[in-house]
A and B are shown apart, each in its own frame.
Chain A
Amino acid sequence: MAVPETVSGAVPAGVPVRSNRRRVVRRILHNPLALTGLAVLTIAVILAVFANWLAPHDPTQTHLSNAFSPPGTAGYWLGTDDLGRDVLSRIMFGLRASLHVAVLAVAFSLVIGVPLGLIAGYFGPVDALISRFTDLVLAFPFLILAVGLAAIRGASLGNAAIAIGIAQIPGMIRIVRSETLRLKSLDFVAAAIVEGAGDAWVLARHILPNAGSVIIVQATVGIPAAILGEAVLSFLGLGIQPPAPSLGTMLSDAQQFASRAPWAAVMPGVAIMLLTLAFNIVGDSLRDALDPKASRR
Chain B
Amino acid sequence: MRRYLFNRLWQSLVTLVLATIVVFAGVRALPGDPALALAGEDRDPESLRAIRQQYGLDQSWLVQFWQFVSHAARGDLGQSIRTGAPVRSMIASALPVTIELSVLAIFIASLVGIGTGVLAAVRRGGPAEWAANGLALLGLSVPHFWLGLMAILYLSVALGLFPASGFVPFFSNPVDNLHHLILPALILGTGLAAVIMRQTRSSMLDALSADYIRTAEAKGLPPKAVVGKHALRNSLIVVVTIVGLQLGALISGAVVTERIFALPGFGKLTVDAVFQRDYPVIQAVVLVTATAYIVINLLVDLLYSVIDPRIRVRGEA
* Residues A242-297 near B (CB distance < 8 A): 251, 254-255, 258-259, 262, 265-266, 268-269, 272-273, 276-277, 280-281, 284, 297
Decide if A231 is an interface residue (CB 8 Å cutoff).
yes
Chain A at the B interface: mostly helix, strand, loop or mixed?
helix
Establish whether residues B141 and A262, one from each chain, have CB atoms under 8 Å apart when the complex forms: no
Chain B at the A interface: mostly helix, strand, loop or mixed?
helix
A-side contacts of B11, CB under 8 Å: 132, 135
Known contacts A139-B293, A277-B138, A297 near B143 by CB under 8 Å: no
Decide if A50 is an interface residue (CB 8 Å cutoff).
no
Query: Which of B42-50, B219-227, B240-248 interfaces with chain A?
Result: B240-248
Establish whether residues A236 and B256, one from each chain, have CB atoms under 8 Å apart when the complex forms: yes
A-side contacts of B275, CB under 8 Å: 237
Known contacts A132-B15, A143-B255, A3 near B311 by CB under 8 Å: yes
A-side contacts of B315, CB under 8 Å: 2
The docked-state distance in angstroms from the alpha carbon of A10 to that of B242 is 13
Interface size class of B (residues with CB under 8 A): 35 or more
Partner of A277, one of B137, B270, B293: B137
Q: Per-residue 0/1 for B236-272: is the Cβ within 8 Å of any A Cβ (1 yes, 0 no)? A: 0000011011011101100110011000000000110
The interface centre, meaning the residue of A2, A150, A235, A272 with most chain B CB atoms within 10 A of its CB, is A2
Partner of A139, one of B19, B270, B282: B19
Kindly provide the distance from the CB of B247 to the nearest chain A CB, expressed in whole angstroms: 7
Decide if A188 is an interface residue (CB 8 Å cutoff).
no
Establish whether residues A151 and B150, one from each chain, have CB atoms under 8 Å apart when the complex forms: no
Decide if B39 is an interface residue (CB 8 Å cutoff).
no
B-side contacts of A232, CB under 8 Å: 143, 145, 252, 256
The docked-state distance in angstroms from the alpha carbon of A265 to that of B152 is 11
Establish whether residues B245 and A4, one from each chain, have CB atoms under 8 Å apart when the complex forms: yes
Establish whether residues B146 and A132, one from each chain, have CB atoms under 8 Å apart when the complex forms: no
Establish whether residues A281 and B137, one from each chain, have CB atoms under 8 Å apart when the complex forms: yes
Decide if B57 is an interface residue (CB 8 Å cutoff).
no
Establish whether residues A284 and B311, one from each chain, have CB atoms under 8 Å apart when the complex forms: no
Residue of B nearest to A247 (CB): B143
Residue of A nearest to B8 (CB): A2
A-side contacts of B26, CB under 8 Å: 148, 152
Decide if B297 is an interface residue (CB 8 Å cutoff).
yes
Decide if A136 is an interface residue (CB 8 Å cutoff).
yes
Establish whether residues A141 and B143, one from each chain, have CB atoms under 8 Å apart when the complex forms: no
Decide if B29 is an interface residue (CB 8 Å cutoff).
yes
Establish whether residues A147 and B143, one from each chain, have CB atoms under 8 Å apart when the complex forms: no
* Residues B121-147 near A (CB distance < 8 A): 137-138, 140-143, 145-147
Residue of A nearest to B137 (CB): A280
Partner of B30, one of A140, A143, A152: A152
* Interface residues contributed by chain A, number (CB under 8 Å): 49
The docked-state distance in angstroms from the alpha carbon of A4 to that of B246 is 11
The docked-state distance in angstroms from the alpha carbon of A167 to that of B293 is 14
A-side contacts of B14, CB under 8 Å: 132
Establish whether residues A136 and B248, one from each chain, have CB atoms under 8 Å apart when the complex forms: no
Decide if B38 is an interface residue (CB 8 Å cutoff).
no
A-side contacts of B138, CB under 8 Å: 273, 277
Jot down 28 A-B pairs with beta carbons below 8 A, ordered by A: A1-B301, A2-B8, A3-B241, A3-B300, A3-B301, A10-B198, A10-B202, A132-B14, A132-B18, A136-B15, A136-B19, A139-B294, A141-B248, A141-B251, A143-B255, A143-B270, A144-B285, A144-B286, A224-B140, A228-B143, A235-B259, A251-B145, A255-B149, A259-B157, A266-B150, A273-B138, A273-B143, A273-B146
CB-CB nearest 5 A-B residue pairs:
A269-B146, A143-B252, A141-B248, A277-B141, A276-B141
Apart from A143-B255, A152-B31, 20 more pairs, CB < 8 Å:
A2-B8, A3-B311, A8-B245, A10-B202, A136-B19, A138-B248, A139-B19, A140-B22, A141-B251, A151-B277, A167-B248, A224-B140, A224-B141, A232-B143, A235-B256, A251-B143, A258-B153, A266-B150, A269-B149, A272-B143
